[in-house]
Chain A
């Protein structure tokens, strides 16, 4: 454990942290722009050229608002809630491989903060923790709408985690490892998982919409029924953290979707490049894929209306889970035949 290694990891952590926050900040801006375009409007265009300084203006506004804690709330938990949300949204980025190794000052730098051999399970662990921020925040506000939001969030997350996990078993079966690097090595070039597992992708995508509380699954904050849902009582930057963590989670889950199904940083024709050129192109390709999914997340949000709660449960338990199980069994059988078990 030499100093250079520590510096390398530290700067990588800082870089990933800043990129995640920056991308999240600009996806709030882009979401508003996109909503404008879809509704035949222009969207925010006043702050700076093309409105590009809008996220900064929003941030300043959030910080300068009155920070209010309700009298009968559980103060500590009320403060911790948004923190947990933000933390769980950010921590997933540790295991994302952002690109192939880069050479910096003669050192081979892996663009992954930590390579666990249980990569995917780590994602699940963190995602299952994500609900605590919403639950704690919603409960500690001591407001019935917040509580409704929290309860909806928890039941929704538990339901969709199941389908998500079962659908991913097929990917694990195909790549033969839990680490994200194993999964990436399996889909070099254009040998992407989406071509083998379109159904699995669909299930996973729907579940990740539900897990990030994005429309059409944004029932926990459903403003037409629950005022603001779990963040009804939140003001100032605590509210900002809740809203912001949604965008961070969206960015990270788009990155994970592109790794699991669209080959991450692999692209067809990558064998023609070597060294740092390959690394830079790969990183750009990876970000392009990720932003494409961020775009799709937003596009869906401004197209499809919100589910009713019973429809949500029906979709989760009666459609997605059986489909995922069937998909898993078929994949298992095909792999068994392929490996010559019969």
Chain B
């Protein structure tokens, strides 16, 4: 049959010539290649001093968002936990009491919300599942720890503080399907 791409090569198994059998020309050409690479521009990024530019779709450490009035968006519906393929998310829901309206946006809120960062695969399905725009993956890198227990992130780490909001505008347009 006629080839569509013309890229196929016929593999031949013909015996090597004497020069090829010496292997020395091949060795020297290989050595020349490595010699050339010695003087090429280095690709290294010296990490703590220089950082790479993150792609807008970069998925790093999670954040639980608050709204403009500083109330937590999360309503503990559990959709993120259901969506999570690694089963990293657990939560305990609680009812909002009188006088807590300035803390929680909805009538139900997450009393505890834990993500096991050792299980998390940073797929971003949780933010896709979230109906309240409460959880987002940010461009922050999860720091290393020396104990396993420290990798279970509770609300103290995940919820953004009122003063220092975390910018998720890049993710808002990319994470949600159909929003764009």
- A contacts B directly (C-beta below 8 A): yes
Closest to A45 in B: B46
A271: shortest Cβ distance to chain B, in Å?
Answer: 34
Size bracket, chain A contacts: 10 to 19
Nearest Cβ on chain A to B16's Cβ, whole angstroms: 14
With CB as the reference atom, state the residue of chain B lying closest to A37. Answer: B38
What is the CB-to-nearest-CB distance from B4 to chain A, in angstroms, rounded to a whole number?
Answer: 35
**Interchain nearest-CB distance for A320 vs B (Å):** 13
Give residues 30-50 of B contacting A (CB, 8 Å).
Answer: 30-31, 33-35, 37-44, 46
Question: Which residues does chain B contribute within 8 Å of A38, judged by CB atoms?
Answer: 34, 37-38
Interface size class of B (residues with CB under 8 A): 10 to 19
Q: Which residues of A lie under 8 Å from residue B39 when comparing CB positions?
A: 37
Residues of B within 8 A of A (CB): 27, 30-31, 33-35, 37-44, 46
Interface residues of A (CB under 8 A from B): 34, 36-42, 45, 299-300, 302-304
Contacts of B46 in A (CB 8 A): 42, 45
Contact between chains at A41 and B43 (CB < 8 Å): yes
- Additional pairs, 10, CB under 8 Å, beyond known A40-B42, A303-B30, A304-B31: A36-B44, A38-B37, A40-B37, A41-B42, A45-B46, A300-B31, A302-B34, A303-B27, A304-B27, A304-B30
Pair B44/A34 contact, Cβ less than 8 Å: no
Q: Which residues of B contact A299 (CB under 8 A)?
A: 31, 34-35
Query: Considering the chains assembled together, what is the distance between the CA atoms of A299 and B27 in angstroms?
Result: 12
17 A-B residue contacts at CB 8 Å? Answer: A34-B38, A36-B42, A36-B44, A40-B37, A40-B40, A40-B41, A40-B42, A40-B44, A41-B42, A299-B31, A299-B34, A300-B31, A302-B34, A303-B30, A303-B31, A303-B33, A304-B31
CA distance A39 to B40 in the complex (A): 9
In the complex, what residue of chain A is closest to B22 when comparing beta carbons?
Answer: A319
Instruction: Chain B residues near A304: list those with CB within 8 A.
Output: 27, 30-31
Chain A residues, Cβ within 8 Å of B35: 299
B residues within 8 A CB of A41?
42-44
Nearest A residue to B26 by beta-carbon distance? Answer: A304
Q: A42-B42, A42-B44 are in contact. Are A37 and B37 (CB under 8 A)?
A: yes
When C-beta atoms are compared, the residue in chain A nearest to B40 turns out to be A40
In the complex, which residues of chain B have a beta carbon less than 8 angstroms from the beta carbon of A300?
31
- B27: chain A residues at CB < 8 Å are 303-304
The answer to whether B31 and A40 touch across the interface, beta carbons within 8 angstroms, is no
Cα separation A42 to B42 with both chains bound (whole Å): 6
Q: Whole-angstrom distance from the CB of A199 to the nearest CB of chain B?
A: 11
Distance in angstroms from A253 CB to nearest chain B CB is: 19
Please state if A40 and B43 are interface contacts (CB–CB under 8 Å): yes
Q: Please, how many angstroms separate the alpha-carbon atoms of A38 and B35 in the complex?
A: 7
Q: CA of A205 to CA of B120 in the docked complex: distance in angstroms? A: 53
Q: A51 to nearest B CB, angstroms? A: 12
Closest to B43 in A: A40
Output the least CB separation between B21 and chain A (Å).
10
- Complex Cα distance, B81 from A173, in Å, reads 82
CA distance A125 to B97 in the complex (A): 89
A315: nearest chain-B partner, CB-CB: B23
- List the 6 closest A-B pairs by CB distance, nearest first: A303-B34, A42-B44, A37-B38, A38-B34, A40-B43, A303-B30
- The CA of A37 and the CA of B40, in the complex, are separated in Å by 8
Report the nearest A residue to B37, measured CB to CB: A38
Measured between beta carbons, the chain A residues less than 8 angstroms from B42 are 36-37, 40-42
Shortest beta-carbon distance, B123 to chain A, in Å?
31
Task: Report the separation of the CA atoms of residues A38 and B33 in the bound assembly, to the nearest whole angstrom.
Answer: 9
Complex: how many Å from CA A337 to CA B154?
A: 90
